[in-house]
Structure 1
Amino acid sequence: MVETTRPFHLAGTGPVGVLVLSGSSGRVERDRCDLLAAAGATAASYRWFGETVDLVPLESFDEPLARLHERCERLVVLGTSRGAEAALLLGARHPEIDLVVGVSPSDVVWAALSTDRPQRSSFTSGGEPLPFVPYDDDWTPATDPPEHVGMYRSALDRFADRVPAARIPVERIAGDVVLTAGGDDRLWPSTELAVRVEARRAAAGLPTTVLTHPAAGHRVVLPGEPRPPSSHLVHGGTPAADAELGAALWARLLAEVTAGGPRA
Protein backbone atom coordinates (compact mmCIF):
# COMPACT_ATOMS: atom_id res chain seq x y z
CA MET A 1 0.00 0.00 0.00
CA VAL A 2 2.87 2.37 0.69
CA GLU A 3 6.34 2.08 -0.79
CA THR A 4 8.42 2.43 2.33
CA THR A 5 10.82 0.34 4.36
CA ARG A 6 9.39 1.81 7.55
CA PRO A 7 7.14 -0.32 9.79
CA PHE A 8 3.57 -0.35 8.44
CA HIS A 9 0.23 -1.79 9.57
CA LEU A 10 -3.06 -2.13 7.66
CA ALA A 11 -6.28 -3.52 9.16
CA GLY A 12 -9.87 -3.86 7.99
CA THR A 13 -11.71 -3.64 4.70
CA GLY A 14 -14.44 -1.09 5.44
CA PRO A 15 -15.54 1.83 3.24
CA VAL A 16 -14.04 4.51 5.51
CA GLY A 17 -10.26 4.73 5.33
CA VAL A 18 -8.42 6.13 8.33
CA LEU A 19 -4.75 7.09 8.17
CA VAL A 20 -3.53 7.03 11.77
CA LEU A 21 -0.47 9.17 12.58
CA SER A 22 1.35 8.87 15.87
CA GLY A 23 3.03 11.70 17.69
CA SER A 24 6.77 12.15 18.08
CA SER A 25 7.18 8.57 19.36
CA GLY A 26 6.92 7.41 15.76
CA ARG A 27 4.92 4.44 16.98
CA VAL A 28 2.97 2.43 14.43
CA GLU A 29 -0.54 2.61 15.93
CA ARG A 30 -1.45 -1.06 15.53
CA ASP A 31 -3.91 -1.19 18.44
CA ARG A 32 -5.74 1.91 17.25
CA CYS A 33 -5.93 0.58 13.70
CA ASP A 34 -7.24 -2.79 14.88
CA LEU A 35 -9.88 -1.05 17.00
CA LEU A 36 -11.05 1.02 14.03
CA ALA A 37 -11.05 -2.06 11.80
CA ALA A 38 -13.23 -3.94 14.29
CA ALA A 39 -15.68 -1.04 14.11
CA GLY A 40 -15.88 -1.34 10.32
CA ALA A 41 -13.15 0.94 8.98
CA THR A 42 -10.00 0.34 6.97
CA ALA A 43 -7.16 1.74 9.06
CA ALA A 44 -3.48 2.19 8.25
CA SER A 45 -0.53 3.44 10.26
CA TYR A 46 3.17 3.70 9.55
CA ARG A 47 6.22 5.53 10.88
CA TRP A 48 5.75 8.75 8.96
CA PHE A 49 9.14 10.32 9.67
CA GLY A 50 12.74 9.14 9.85
CA GLU A 51 14.82 9.55 12.98
CA THR A 52 12.64 12.41 14.19
CA VAL A 53 10.14 15.04 13.00
CA ASP A 54 12.55 17.12 10.96
CA LEU A 55 11.93 18.58 7.48
CA VAL A 56 9.29 15.97 6.69
CA PRO A 57 8.05 16.47 3.09
CA LEU A 58 4.29 16.84 2.95
CA GLU A 59 4.53 15.04 -0.39
CA SER A 60 5.62 11.90 1.48
CA PHE A 61 2.01 11.46 2.62
CA ASP A 62 0.59 11.58 -0.90
CA GLU A 63 1.13 7.91 -1.75
CA PRO A 64 -0.33 6.36 1.43
CA LEU A 65 -3.31 8.71 1.26
CA ALA A 66 -3.94 7.89 -2.41
CA ARG A 67 -3.68 4.15 -1.88
CA LEU A 68 -6.04 4.29 1.10
CA HIS A 69 -8.48 6.41 -0.87
CA GLU A 70 -8.42 3.88 -3.72
CA ARG A 71 -9.83 1.30 -1.32
CA CYS A 72 -12.36 3.50 0.47
CA GLU A 73 -15.25 5.86 -0.20
CA ARG A 74 -14.38 8.23 2.62
CA LEU A 75 -10.98 9.38 3.87
CA VAL A 76 -10.05 10.33 7.42
CA VAL A 77 -6.71 11.39 8.89
CA LEU A 78 -6.37 10.87 12.65
CA GLY A 79 -3.22 12.33 14.19
CA THR A 80 -1.94 12.78 17.73
CA SER A 81 0.26 15.69 18.85
CA ARG A 82 2.88 16.18 16.12
CA GLY A 83 0.76 13.78 14.09
CA ALA A 84 -2.19 16.14 14.58
CA GLU A 85 -0.01 18.97 13.30
CA ALA A 86 0.64 16.85 10.20
CA ALA A 87 -3.04 15.88 9.89
CA LEU A 88 -4.19 19.51 9.82
CA LEU A 89 -1.54 20.36 7.21
CA LEU A 90 -2.72 17.42 5.10
CA GLY A 91 -6.35 18.48 5.45
CA ALA A 92 -5.46 21.89 4.03
CA ARG A 93 -3.49 20.25 1.19
CA HIS A 94 -5.88 17.43 0.22
CA PRO A 95 -9.52 18.41 -0.46
CA GLU A 96 -10.43 14.72 -0.79
CA ILE A 97 -9.97 14.24 2.97
CA ASP A 98 -13.45 14.08 4.49
CA LEU A 99 -12.45 14.43 8.14
CA VAL A 100 -9.37 15.56 10.05
CA VAL A 101 -9.16 14.40 13.66
CA GLY A 102 -6.52 16.05 15.83
CA VAL A 103 -5.72 14.69 19.28
CA SER A 104 -3.86 17.37 21.26
CA PRO A 105 -3.36 19.50 18.13
CA SER A 106 -1.37 22.61 17.31
CA ASP A 107 -2.50 25.54 15.19
CA VAL A 108 1.07 26.35 14.10
CA VAL A 109 4.02 24.51 12.60
CA TRP A 110 6.77 24.01 15.16
CA ALA A 111 10.51 23.70 14.81
CA ALA A 112 12.03 20.32 14.07
CA LEU A 113 12.62 18.01 17.02
CA SER A 114 16.37 18.41 16.83
CA THR A 115 19.18 19.77 18.97
CA ASP A 116 20.87 21.15 15.85
CA ARG A 117 21.11 24.90 15.64
CA PRO A 118 20.05 27.03 13.91
CA GLN A 119 16.55 25.63 14.25
CA ARG A 120 14.68 24.49 11.17
CA SER A 121 11.12 23.54 10.26
CA SER A 122 9.43 20.24 10.95
CA PHE A 123 7.88 20.14 7.46
CA THR A 124 8.62 21.05 3.87
CA SER A 125 6.42 21.55 0.81
CA GLY A 126 7.78 21.56 -2.72
CA GLY A 127 11.26 21.26 -1.24
CA GLU A 128 10.89 24.46 0.77
CA PRO A 129 10.73 24.52 4.60
CA LEU A 130 7.40 25.70 5.98
CA PRO A 131 7.48 28.78 8.24
CA PHE A 132 7.67 27.67 11.87
CA VAL A 133 7.74 28.79 15.47
CA PRO A 134 11.14 28.12 17.09
CA TYR A 135 11.59 26.67 20.55
CA ASP A 136 12.65 29.00 23.35
CA ASP A 137 16.17 27.79 24.10
CA ASP A 138 16.38 30.14 27.11
CA TRP A 139 13.39 28.55 28.84
CA THR A 140 14.20 26.92 32.17
CA PRO A 141 11.88 24.19 33.49
CA ALA A 142 10.41 24.64 36.95
CA THR A 143 9.83 20.92 37.52
CA ASP A 144 11.82 17.72 37.31
CA PRO A 145 10.98 15.99 35.03
CA PRO A 146 10.15 19.10 33.00
CA GLU A 147 6.61 20.00 31.97
CA HIS A 148 7.21 21.43 28.51
CA VAL A 149 3.88 23.24 28.28
CA GLY A 150 5.63 26.30 29.74
CA MET A 151 8.27 26.24 27.02
CA TYR A 152 5.66 26.19 24.26
CA ARG A 153 3.80 29.11 25.80
CA SER A 154 7.06 31.00 26.19
CA ALA A 155 7.98 30.31 22.55
CA LEU A 156 4.62 31.58 21.31
CA ASP A 157 5.16 34.83 23.26
CA ARG A 158 8.83 35.29 22.44
CA PHE A 159 8.42 34.58 18.73
CA ALA A 160 4.99 36.19 18.33
CA ASP A 161 6.21 37.87 15.14
CA ARG A 162 6.70 34.44 13.55
CA VAL A 163 3.35 33.01 14.58
CA PRO A 164 1.24 34.46 11.73
CA ALA A 165 3.39 32.91 8.99
CA ALA A 166 3.61 29.60 10.88
CA ARG A 167 -0.15 29.18 11.29
CA ILE A 168 -1.53 26.04 9.67
CA PRO A 169 -4.07 27.18 7.02
CA VAL A 170 -7.01 25.44 8.68
CA GLU A 171 -9.39 27.71 6.76
CA ARG A 172 -8.51 25.67 3.66
CA ILE A 173 -9.65 22.36 5.12
CA ALA A 174 -12.72 21.41 3.10
CA GLY A 175 -13.65 18.44 5.26
CA ASP A 176 -14.86 18.33 8.83
CA VAL A 177 -12.47 18.95 11.70
CA VAL A 178 -12.71 17.29 15.13
CA LEU A 179 -10.20 18.14 17.85
CA THR A 180 -9.68 16.78 21.35
CA ALA A 181 -7.70 18.58 24.02
CA GLY A 182 -7.08 18.01 27.70
CA GLY A 183 -7.19 20.83 30.20
CA ASP A 184 -4.33 19.20 32.12
CA ASP A 185 -2.08 18.78 29.08
CA ARG A 186 1.42 19.39 30.42
CA LEU A 187 3.30 18.81 27.19
CA TRP A 188 1.90 21.72 25.20
CA PRO A 189 -1.20 23.97 25.56
CA SER A 190 -3.44 21.88 23.32
CA THR A 191 -6.71 23.38 24.60
CA GLU A 192 -5.57 26.90 23.73
CA LEU A 193 -4.24 25.77 20.36
CA ALA A 194 -7.44 23.87 19.54
CA VAL A 195 -9.55 26.91 20.38
CA ARG A 196 -7.43 28.99 18.01
CA VAL A 197 -8.10 26.50 15.21
CA GLU A 198 -11.82 26.65 16.00
CA ALA A 199 -11.87 30.48 16.03
CA ARG A 200 -10.05 30.84 12.73
CA ARG A 201 -12.31 28.33 11.01
CA ALA A 202 -15.39 29.98 12.52
CA ALA A 203 -14.24 33.32 11.08
CA ALA A 204 -14.18 31.60 7.68
CA GLY A 205 -17.68 30.19 8.23
CA LEU A 206 -16.43 26.64 8.82
CA PRO A 207 -17.53 24.41 11.70
CA THR A 208 -15.14 22.66 14.08
CA THR A 209 -15.92 20.21 16.86
CA VAL A 210 -13.69 20.60 19.93
CA LEU A 211 -13.96 17.93 22.62
CA THR A 212 -12.30 18.77 25.93
CA HIS A 213 -11.99 17.43 29.47
CA PRO A 214 -10.52 19.59 32.25
CA ALA A 215 -8.60 16.72 33.86
CA ALA A 216 -7.37 14.96 30.70
CA GLY A 217 -3.79 15.21 29.55
CA HIS A 218 -1.91 15.09 26.26
CA ARG A 219 -2.86 11.52 25.33
CA VAL A 220 -6.38 10.10 25.10
CA VAL A 221 -7.26 6.42 25.31
CA LEU A 222 -10.05 5.05 23.14
CA PRO A 223 -12.42 2.42 24.61
CA GLY A 224 -10.75 -0.99 24.38
CA GLU A 225 -7.36 0.51 23.66
CA PRO A 226 -4.38 -0.11 25.99
CA ARG A 227 -2.76 2.89 27.60
CA PRO A 228 0.21 4.20 25.60
CA PRO A 229 3.64 3.06 26.74
CA SER A 230 5.38 5.09 29.42
CA SER A 231 7.48 8.01 28.25
CA HIS A 232 10.16 10.35 29.58
CA LEU A 233 7.78 13.23 28.77
CA VAL A 234 5.21 14.56 31.23
CA HIS A 235 1.79 14.33 29.57
CA GLY A 236 -0.53 15.24 32.45
CA GLY A 237 -4.05 13.95 32.94
CA THR A 238 -5.41 10.96 34.82
CA PRO A 239 -6.26 7.51 33.43
CA ALA A 240 -9.96 8.10 34.10
CA ALA A 241 -10.07 11.53 32.45
CA ASP A 242 -7.99 10.41 29.48
CA ALA A 243 -10.41 7.50 28.99
CA GLU A 244 -13.48 9.77 29.28
CA LEU A 245 -12.14 12.10 26.61
CA GLY A 246 -11.27 9.07 24.50
CA ALA A 247 -14.83 7.77 24.83
CA ALA A 248 -16.20 11.10 23.58
CA LEU A 249 -13.88 10.96 20.59
CA TRP A 250 -14.74 7.32 19.94
CA ALA A 251 -18.44 8.18 19.67
CA ARG A 252 -17.58 10.70 16.95
CA LEU A 253 -15.34 8.21 15.14
CA LEU A 254 -18.05 5.55 15.22
CA ALA A 255 -20.47 8.02 13.64
CA GLU A 256 -17.92 8.60 10.87
CA VAL A 257 -17.30 4.89 10.29
CA THR A 258 -21.01 4.24 9.89
CA ALA A 259 -21.61 7.30 7.68
CA GLY A 260 -22.62 6.47 4.13
CA GLY A 261 -20.88 7.71 1.01
CA PRO A 262 -18.30 10.43 0.43
CA ARG A 263 -18.71 14.06 1.46
CA ALA A 264 -21.13 15.92 -0.78
Structure 2
Amino acid sequence: MLVLTGSSGRIDPGRCDLLSAHGMTAMSIRWFGGPGQPPGICEVPLETFVSALDLLAGTGVSRLAVLGVSKGAEAALMLACVEPRVEAAIALSPSSVVWANVGPGLDGVTEPYRSSWMWQGQPLPFASYPAEWPAEGPPTSFRAFYERGLAAAPPEAAIPLERTRAEVMLVSGGDDQMWPSLRFAEALAERRHVHIVSHPSAGHRPRFPGESPAQQSPSYLYGGSPHADAALGAAAWPHILTMLST
Protein backbone atom coordinates (compact mmCIF):
# COMPACT_ATOMS: atom_id res chain seq x y z
CA MET A 1 0.00 0.00 0.00
CA LEU A 2 1.35 3.39 -1.03
CA VAL A 3 0.02 6.00 1.43
CA LEU A 4 -0.25 9.61 0.23
CA THR A 5 -1.09 12.54 2.47
CA GLY A 6 -2.66 15.80 1.31
CA SER A 7 -1.30 19.28 0.73
CA SER A 8 0.77 19.19 3.93
CA GLY A 9 3.21 17.01 2.03
CA ARG A 10 4.07 15.14 5.20
CA ILE A 11 4.87 11.46 5.53
CA ASP A 12 2.28 9.45 7.48
CA PRO A 13 4.04 6.71 9.49
CA GLY A 14 1.03 6.35 11.83
CA ARG A 15 -1.31 5.28 9.05
CA CYS A 16 1.38 2.98 7.67
CA ASP A 17 1.73 1.37 11.10
CA LEU A 18 -2.04 0.85 11.25
CA LEU A 19 -2.07 -0.86 7.85
CA SER A 20 1.00 -2.90 8.74
CA ALA A 21 -0.73 -4.15 11.89
CA HIS A 22 -3.35 -5.67 9.58
CA GLY A 23 -0.83 -7.55 7.49
CA MET A 24 -0.07 -5.01 4.77
CA THR A 25 3.26 -3.69 3.56
CA ALA A 26 2.75 0.09 3.68
CA MET A 27 4.97 2.97 2.61
CA SER A 28 4.42 6.73 2.73
CA ILE A 29 6.57 9.13 0.72
CA ARG A 30 7.19 12.85 0.46
CA TRP A 31 6.09 13.80 -3.03
CA PHE A 32 6.80 17.52 -3.05
CA GLY A 33 8.98 19.84 -1.03
CA GLY A 34 11.90 17.40 -0.83
CA PRO A 35 15.30 17.46 -2.55
CA GLY A 36 14.88 17.68 -6.31
CA GLN A 37 11.10 18.00 -5.97
CA PRO A 38 8.85 20.99 -6.67
CA PRO A 39 8.47 23.14 -3.54
CA GLY A 40 4.72 23.20 -4.17
CA ILE A 41 2.13 20.92 -5.75
CA CYS A 42 2.94 22.09 -9.24
CA GLU A 43 3.52 19.76 -12.19
CA VAL A 44 4.47 16.92 -9.87
CA PRO A 45 5.39 13.94 -12.07
CA LEU A 46 3.12 10.95 -11.52
CA GLU A 47 6.29 8.95 -12.13
CA THR A 48 7.20 9.94 -8.55
CA PHE A 49 4.50 7.53 -7.38
CA VAL A 50 5.36 4.91 -10.01
CA SER A 51 8.90 4.80 -8.56
CA ALA A 52 7.41 4.21 -5.12
CA LEU A 53 5.32 1.35 -6.51
CA ASP A 54 8.51 -0.10 -7.99
CA LEU A 55 10.02 -0.18 -4.49
CA LEU A 56 6.93 -1.87 -3.06
CA ALA A 57 6.86 -4.38 -5.90
CA GLY A 58 10.48 -5.19 -5.14
CA THR A 59 9.50 -6.45 -1.68
CA GLY A 60 7.62 -9.35 -3.25
CA VAL A 61 4.10 -8.18 -2.44
CA SER A 62 1.30 -9.89 -4.36
CA ARG A 63 -0.79 -6.78 -5.10
CA LEU A 64 -0.21 -3.05 -5.32
CA ALA A 65 -2.66 -0.53 -3.92
CA VAL A 66 -2.69 3.19 -3.17
CA LEU A 67 -4.48 5.17 -0.47
CA GLY A 68 -4.57 8.96 -0.56
CA VAL A 69 -6.39 11.78 1.20
CA SER A 70 -7.39 15.14 -0.33
CA LYS A 71 -4.66 16.14 -2.84
CA GLY A 72 -3.14 12.73 -2.19
CA ALA A 73 -6.47 11.20 -3.21
CA GLU A 74 -6.38 13.25 -6.41
CA ALA A 75 -2.92 11.81 -7.08
CA ALA A 76 -3.99 8.28 -6.14
CA LEU A 77 -6.88 8.28 -8.60
CA MET A 78 -4.75 9.67 -11.42
CA LEU A 79 -2.05 7.11 -10.64
CA ALA A 80 -4.64 4.32 -10.92
CA CYS A 81 -5.63 5.71 -14.33
CA VAL A 82 -2.09 5.57 -15.77
CA GLU A 83 -0.47 2.67 -13.89
CA PRO A 84 -2.02 -0.74 -14.67
CA ARG A 85 -0.26 -2.42 -11.73
CA VAL A 86 -2.53 -0.60 -9.26
CA GLU A 87 -5.23 -3.10 -8.31
CA ALA A 88 -6.95 -1.07 -5.59
CA ALA A 89 -7.30 2.68 -5.06
CA ILE A 90 -8.78 4.18 -1.90
CA ALA A 91 -9.47 7.90 -2.06
CA LEU A 92 -10.36 9.76 1.14
CA SER A 93 -12.05 13.13 0.52
CA PRO A 94 -11.29 12.94 -3.22
CA SER A 95 -11.58 15.38 -6.09
CA SER A 96 -13.26 14.49 -9.37
CA VAL A 97 -11.00 16.80 -11.40
CA VAL A 98 -7.33 17.70 -11.63
CA TRP A 99 -6.79 21.13 -10.08
CA ALA A 100 -4.30 23.87 -10.71
CA ASN A 101 -1.08 24.06 -8.75
CA VAL A 102 -0.92 24.82 -5.06
CA GLY A 103 2.33 26.72 -4.68
CA PRO A 104 5.37 26.98 -6.97
CA GLY A 105 7.01 24.54 -9.31
CA LEU A 106 10.71 23.76 -9.71
CA ASP A 107 11.16 27.24 -11.20
CA GLY A 108 9.83 28.87 -8.03
CA VAL A 109 6.93 30.45 -9.93
CA THR A 110 3.37 30.16 -8.62
CA GLU A 111 1.38 32.04 -11.29
CA PRO A 112 0.10 31.83 -13.95
CA TYR A 113 -1.58 28.63 -12.91
CA ARG A 114 -0.29 25.29 -14.13
CA SER A 115 -1.41 21.73 -13.54
CA SER A 116 -0.79 19.95 -10.26
CA TRP A 117 0.43 16.86 -12.15
CA MET A 118 2.50 15.73 -15.11
CA TRP A 119 2.66 12.39 -16.89
CA GLN A 120 5.35 11.40 -19.39
CA GLY A 121 6.60 14.98 -19.51
CA GLN A 122 3.20 16.52 -20.26
CA PRO A 123 1.10 18.58 -17.82
CA LEU A 124 -2.37 17.14 -17.27
CA PRO A 125 -5.43 19.26 -18.16
CA PHE A 126 -6.66 21.08 -15.08
CA ALA A 127 -9.35 23.23 -13.53
CA SER A 128 -8.30 26.75 -12.57
CA TYR A 129 -9.29 28.59 -9.41
CA PRO A 130 -11.82 31.42 -9.25
CA ALA A 131 -10.40 34.93 -9.36
CA GLU A 132 -11.74 35.83 -5.92
CA TRP A 133 -10.38 33.89 -2.98
CA PRO A 134 -12.47 33.34 0.16
CA ALA A 135 -12.68 36.48 2.26
CA GLU A 136 -13.98 34.88 5.46
CA GLY A 137 -11.80 33.68 8.27
CA PRO A 138 -9.40 32.50 9.39
CA PRO A 139 -10.30 29.77 9.87
CA THR A 140 -11.45 29.62 6.25
CA SER A 141 -13.75 27.25 4.38
CA PHE A 142 -12.79 26.64 0.75
CA ARG A 143 -15.87 24.57 -0.13
CA ALA A 144 -17.76 27.31 -2.02
CA PHE A 145 -14.50 28.39 -3.66
CA TYR A 146 -13.97 24.93 -5.15
CA GLU A 147 -17.63 24.70 -6.13
CA ARG A 148 -17.19 27.88 -8.19
CA GLY A 149 -14.04 26.48 -9.77
CA LEU A 150 -15.78 23.22 -10.59
CA ALA A 151 -18.58 25.06 -12.38
CA ALA A 152 -16.01 26.55 -14.78
CA ALA A 153 -13.80 23.46 -15.10
CA PRO A 154 -13.13 22.25 -18.66
CA PRO A 155 -14.38 18.71 -19.37
CA GLU A 156 -10.86 17.48 -20.04
CA ALA A 157 -9.87 18.28 -16.43
CA ALA A 158 -12.05 15.41 -15.17
CA ILE A 159 -10.13 12.48 -13.71
CA PRO A 160 -10.65 9.73 -16.34
CA LEU A 161 -11.58 7.03 -13.89
CA GLU A 162 -13.04 4.86 -16.63
CA ARG A 163 -9.45 4.13 -17.69
CA THR A 164 -8.45 2.24 -14.56
CA ARG A 165 -8.72 -1.48 -13.99
CA ALA A 166 -8.36 -0.99 -10.25
CA GLU A 167 -11.08 -1.54 -7.69
CA VAL A 168 -11.95 1.92 -6.37
CA MET A 169 -13.33 3.06 -3.01
CA LEU A 170 -14.24 6.68 -2.26
CA VAL A 171 -14.69 7.90 1.31
CA SER A 172 -16.39 11.29 1.69
CA GLY A 173 -18.00 13.42 4.36
CA GLY A 174 -21.12 15.44 3.64
CA ASP A 175 -19.86 18.30 5.85
CA ASP A 176 -16.46 18.56 4.16
CA GLN A 177 -15.63 22.28 4.31
CA MET A 178 -12.33 22.14 2.45
CA TRP A 179 -13.94 21.06 -0.81
CA PRO A 180 -17.18 19.25 -1.78
CA SER A 181 -15.71 15.75 -1.68
CA LEU A 182 -19.06 13.95 -1.59
CA ARG A 183 -20.17 15.81 -4.72
CA PHE A 184 -16.82 14.92 -6.28
CA ALA A 185 -17.28 11.26 -5.35
CA GLU A 186 -20.71 11.19 -6.95
CA ALA A 187 -19.27 12.70 -10.14
CA LEU A 188 -16.55 10.04 -10.21
CA ALA A 189 -19.21 7.35 -9.81
CA GLU A 190 -20.82 8.59 -13.02
CA ARG A 191 -17.64 7.67 -14.91
CA ARG A 192 -17.08 4.21 -13.46
CA HIS A 193 -18.44 1.79 -10.89
CA VAL A 194 -17.00 2.66 -7.49
CA HIS A 195 -17.82 1.94 -3.86
CA ILE A 196 -18.72 5.16 -2.00
CA VAL A 197 -18.73 5.27 1.80
CA SER A 198 -20.11 8.52 3.21
CA HIS A 199 -21.37 10.12 6.41
CA PRO A 200 -23.55 13.25 6.30
CA SER A 201 -21.85 14.95 9.26
CA ALA A 202 -18.21 14.00 8.62
CA GLY A 203 -15.65 16.46 7.32
CA HIS A 204 -12.48 16.42 5.26
CA ARG A 205 -10.38 14.19 7.52
CA PRO A 206 -11.92 10.76 8.21
CA ARG A 207 -10.15 8.78 10.91
CA PHE A 208 -9.78 5.02 10.98
CA PRO A 209 -10.23 2.90 14.13
CA GLY A 210 -7.13 3.33 16.28
CA GLU A 211 -6.26 6.76 14.87
CA SER A 212 -6.43 9.88 17.03
CA PRO A 213 -8.77 12.75 16.10
CA ALA A 214 -7.32 15.24 13.64
CA GLN A 215 -5.99 18.40 15.22
CA GLN A 216 -7.98 21.59 14.78
CA SER A 217 -6.46 24.22 12.52
CA PRO A 218 -6.38 27.97 13.19
CA SER A 219 -6.24 28.58 9.44
CA TYR A 220 -8.72 26.22 7.77
CA LEU A 221 -12.18 24.81 8.35
CA TYR A 222 -12.34 21.10 7.60
CA GLY A 223 -15.90 20.44 8.73
CA GLY A 224 -17.18 17.45 10.62
CA SER A 225 -16.47 16.59 14.23
CA PRO A 226 -14.23 14.06 15.96
CA HIS A 227 -17.24 11.74 16.42
CA ALA A 228 -18.48 12.00 12.81
CA ASP A 229 -15.00 11.77 11.31
CA ALA A 230 -14.34 8.62 13.35
CA ALA A 231 -17.73 7.21 12.37
CA LEU A 232 -16.92 7.68 8.68
CA GLY A 233 -13.54 5.99 9.08
CA ALA A 234 -15.09 3.15 11.05
CA ALA A 235 -17.71 2.61 8.35
CA ALA A 236 -15.06 2.49 5.63
CA TRP A 237 -12.51 0.38 7.49
CA PRO A 238 -14.05 -3.12 7.16
CA HIS A 239 -14.67 -2.52 3.46
CA ILE A 240 -11.05 -1.48 3.01
CA LEU A 241 -9.79 -4.61 4.77
CA THR A 242 -12.06 -6.80 2.66
CA MET A 243 -11.04 -5.00 -0.51
CA LEU A 244 -7.35 -5.47 0.20
CA SER A 245 -7.62 -9.10 1.27
CA THR A 246 -9.26 -10.34 -1.95
Q: Is TM more than 0.5 here?
A: yes
In structure 2, what is the Cα distance between the partners aligned to 1:62 and 1:258? 22
Asked whether the equivalents of residues 18 and 210 of structure 2 are also in contact (C-alpha less than 8 Å), the reply is yes
Residue of structure 1 equivalent to 2:36? none
Identity within the alignment, %: 45
Asked whether the equivalents of residues 141 and 148 of structure 1 are also in contact (C-alpha less than 8 Å), the reply is no
Residue of structure 2 equivalent to 1:8? none
1:214 to 200, 210, 223: 200
| Aligned CA-pair RMSD | 1.4
**Structure 2 counterpart SS, 1:98:** strand
Gaps of 5+ in 2: 34-38, 105-109
Asked whether the equivalents of residues 139 and 154 of structure 1 are also in contact (C-alpha less than 8 Å), the reply is no
In structure 2, what is the Cα distance between the partners aligned to 1:241 and 1:75? 30
Give yes or no for the alignment of 1:186 onto 2:177.
yes
TM-score when normalising by structure 2:
0.91
Residue of structure 1 equivalent to 2:220? 233
Question: Is 243-252 or 136-145 further displaced after alignment?
Answer: 136-145
TM-score when normalising by structure 1:
0.85
- Displacement of 1:142: 4.2
Give yes or no for the alignment of 1:249 onto 2:240.
no
Residues 86 and 239 (structure 1 numbering): CA distance in 2 closer, same or farther, change over 3 Å? same
Q: Within 5 Å, which residues of 2 pair with 1:95-244?
A: 95-114=84-103, 116-157=110-151, 159-160=152-153, 162=154, 164-201=155-192, 207-231=193-217, 232-244=219-231
Asked whether the equivalents of residues 40 and 257 of structure 1 are also in contact (C-alpha less than 8 Å), the reply is no
- Provide the aligned length of Structure 1 versus Structure 2: 234
Asked whether the equivalents of residues 214 and 226 of structure 2 are also in contact (C-alpha less than 8 Å), the reply is no
**Structure 1 counterpart SS, 2:190:** helix
- Displacement of 1:254: 1.6
Residue of structure 1 equivalent to 2:2? 19
Residues 150 and 42 (structure 1 numbering): CA distance in 2 closer, same or farther, change over 3 Å? same
Asked whether the equivalents of residues 88 and 166 of structure 2 are also in contact (C-alpha less than 8 Å), the reply is yes
- Displacement of 1:33: 0.4
Residues 224 and 127 (structure 1 numbering): CA distance in 2 closer, same or farther, change over 3 Å? same
- Displacement of 1:179: 0.2
In structure 2, what is the Cα distance between the partners aligned to 1:168 and 1:257? 23
Residue of structure 2 equivalent to 1:67? 55
Gaps of 5+ in 1: 1-17, 202-206, 260-264
In structure 2, what is the Cα distance between the partners aligned to 1:87 and 1:258? 19
In structure 1, what is the Cα distance between the partners aligned to 2:230 and 2:176? 14
2:28 to 28, 45, 48: 45
Asked whether the equivalents of residues 177 and 204 of structure 2 are also in contact (C-alpha less than 8 Å), the reply is yes
Asked whether the equivalents of residues 40 and 258 of structure 1 are also in contact (C-alpha less than 8 Å), the reply is no
- Displacement of 1:48: 1.3
In structure 1, what is the Cα distance between the partners aligned to 2:205 and 2:129? 21
Detail structure 1 runs of 4+ shifted over 2 Å in the superposition: 139-145, 227-232, 256-259
